[in-house]
Amino acid sequence: QGMEVQETTLTSFLATGSESQKQASMRMLSATTNATISLHLQEAPTNRKAANLAFTTILRRKGRILDSIADSLQAIRDNLTPENEKLLDDLANTRTQIAALIYEKPKNISLEQYRQRIANLKGKAEKLEADLSLASAAFANTNKPVTIERVKKLIPADAALVEIMQYKPYDAKAKRGERFGEPRYAVYILHSTGTPQWLDLGKVEPIHNTIEEFRDKLSKSDSSIQEIARTLDQQVMQPIRQKLGNAKHILLSPDSQLNLIPFAALVDENNQYLIENYTITYLTTGRDLLKLDIDFPAKQPPILVANPEYDIPGNPNSAQLVANSKRGSNNEPTKDDVTEEEFLFPAQNLLRLSSLPGTKAEAEEIALMLSEEILLTESDATENAVKQVNAPEILHIATHGFFLEDLEEAAPPTLGSGLMEGFDFKSSLPAIKLDKLENPLLRSGLALAGFTERESGNEDGVMTALEIANLSLGGTKLVVLSACDTGLGEIKNVGDGVYGLRRALAIAGSESQVISLWQVNDFGTKDLMVKYYQRVLNNEGRSEAMRQTQLEMLATEGYEHPYYWAAFIPSGDWREMGI
């Protein structure tokens, strides 16, 4: 009963407020989430009622903020009024201004003025987020409570949902402040028939240590990877496999650092990669299955963006090519190399990008398989054009992606309305500490035409994840980011996924995504993408099409190493697109 009361309260809290306020609401409930899972796995591991309570809590709370934001934006777009349209436009414009300032400081203002401008804009964005949440509440659907039975009915007969959640064991008898132990991984497994199964994978620290080594070896095509891939499988997937039965399709909802690895590249006890025996689809939460029957119509034909001209200004008229239609670099600065002011503006001092000729050939070959497609390459591949998309059937972007791990926060948001022209920045923020990182949605993004010159139509060519989250992609069947590191990001909160491009695409409303976990070979990626589209446009399921394409590469001499075939992971709706 107590958890049902908390669920009602949480639903009410998440219906309004900015994203940071929603995060605060979730943090208030983190103790009961941990305690509920701990009650089951630590205190009553054979008690089915405790298991159902813990599993239900995870299904209701994991990824909840993302759902709340995405649902709010979709509700506004489905019930657009002039007032709400202005709120959407104002939020998009404010985020664009923030991103532009982060990546290029105006030369005619001081560092203090620069930080004050960013702080005011962030405060304004927070207020606009809260206003949009409040406006969307009037259109919100009264959804039935999420239950194990509702989710279970949507699992295919050949599949199993694997829900992984990091938690801290709770000891009610310990001293206050010492009641939560070291984090562990809980796993709940659900088939279309039968009752949930569960297990505790143990402490996260040794698993995370293995993940770090595994990811390092994955990014090098000449590394010896079998041993570490086998070790990680023993820690995570081997215990889970014992409970999968005959299921060959894993609907996988990872948590924390497990979001950053391709499970298909783990090696089992028979020395086979998991991809050889399983199809794997990545979900934010098992609750995602409840959205499968929601079908928004596409409003534009497929749009392909590839091989941007980074070093010359983008075509200012390219946006019209999209608007009128119907239907990775990882070089990062260190604090020792640059001054404080330079460190705030990394895109001016690093990220000098090489061209990607393979992406143009990739997009042109894919375009031949489509009809009515819009192809934007070279100087037409602008940020301005991408921002005009309105629910295209497919959105394919082949360019450099980036995630800056160490970009320090320029300034926190001002409090209040966010419109404080006379705000005394210096007295309000007397001790800015340059050890807090910038919003991860501002630290990740895509490079588009005019990137080097900061001129991409009327944008700057640095399209951050924060700006991508404002795209209208409800009705887009598939988004492919054929770029380096597009699946990376920051794990801000346990149970809340990866803050980066993949989160931005989910907020924007796309049905499914294909993203990459490390820097990928230009022409090797071209071959993989062309073969993937051949399959997916021939009505193969979106996840199975990726698996078969990767298996083909695995069987090709010279491409056996997971570096070549395992970088791209499919998330969201795994079924045929039907277009």
Q: What is the pLDDT of residue 88?
A: 94
- Spatial separation of the C-alpha atoms in residues 345 and 203, rounded to whole Å: 38
Domain shared by 281 and 323, yes or no: no
- Spatial separation of the C-alpha atoms in residues 48 and 34, rounded to whole Å: 18
Q: Which stretches of 182-263 are assigned E, i.e. beta strand?
A: 184-190, 197-203, 249-253
**How many Cβ atoms from other residues are within 10 Å of residue 416's Cβ?**
11
Pull the structure tokens for residue 466.
């924060």
- Spatial separation of the C-alpha atoms in residues 474 and 530, rounded to whole Å: 25
Whether residue 119 lies inside any domain: the answer is no
Domain shared by 173 and 308, yes or no: no
**How many Cβ atoms from other residues are within 10 Å of residue 310's Cβ?**
24
Domain shared by 152 and 276, yes or no: yes
Question: C-alpha distances in angstroms, 222 versus 219, 484, 559, 562?
Answer: 9, 18, 11, 10
Domain shared by 206 and 307, yes or no: no
Domain shared by 482 and 402, yes or no: yes
User: Which candidate, 175, 242, 239, 162, places its Cα nearest to that of 207?
Assistant: 239
Whether residue 156 lies inside any domain: the answer is yes
- Spatial separation of the C-alpha atoms in residues 572 and 478, rounded to whole Å: 9
Q: Structurally, how many domains does the chain consist of?
A: 3
Whether residue 99 lies inside any domain: the answer is no
Whether residue 241 lies inside any domain: the answer is yes
Whether residue 187 lies inside any domain: the answer is yes
User: Of 482, 499, 519, which closes a domain?
Assistant: 519
DSSP category for residue 296: P
Domain shared by 438 and 508, yes or no: yes
Backbone angles phi, psi at 55, to 5 degrees: -65, -45
Domain shared by 461 and 561, yes or no: no
Pull the structure tokens for residue 71.
């649902």
User: Of 270, 291, 312, which closes a domain?
Assistant: 291
List, run by run, the mean pLDDT of 10-residue segments along the chain (579 residues).
Answer: 77 80 84 94 96 96 89 88 94 95 91 94 94 83 83 97 96 84 97 97 98 95 94 98 97 96 98 98 95 89 95 86 56 37 45 80 95 94 95 95 85 62 36 64 92 89 94 96 76 72 92 90 83 96 97 93 94 92
Q: What is the CA radius of gyration of the chain?
A: 23
Centroid of chain to Cα 257: 13
Whether residue 280 lies inside any domain: the answer is yes
User: Of 265, 291, 317, which closes a domain?
Assistant: 291
Sheet containing strand 279-282, strands side by side:
197-203, 184-190, 159-167, 249-253, 279-282, 568-572, 512-516, 478-481, 394-398, 303-308, 374-378
Domain shared by 457 and 533, yes or no: no
Whether residue 328 lies inside any domain: the answer is yes
Domain shared by 278 and 336, yes or no: no
Domain shared by 264 and 376, yes or no: no
Which residue type is seen at 51?
A
Q: What is the pLDDT of residue 27?
A: 83
Whether residue 131 lies inside any domain: the answer is no
Q: What is the pLDDT of residue 342?
A: 42
Domain range for 526 is: 522-569
Backbone angles phi, psi at 472, to 5 degrees: -100, 100
Q: What is the pLDDT of residue 142?
A: 58
Domain shared by 361 and 398, yes or no: yes
Q: What is the pLDDT of residue 141?
A: 64
Query: Which stretches within 79-110 are classed as H helix?
Result: 82-103
Domain shared by 284 and 316, yes or no: no
- Cα angle 89, 443, 111 (rounded to 5 degrees) comes to 85
Q: What is the pLDDT of residue 423?
A: 36
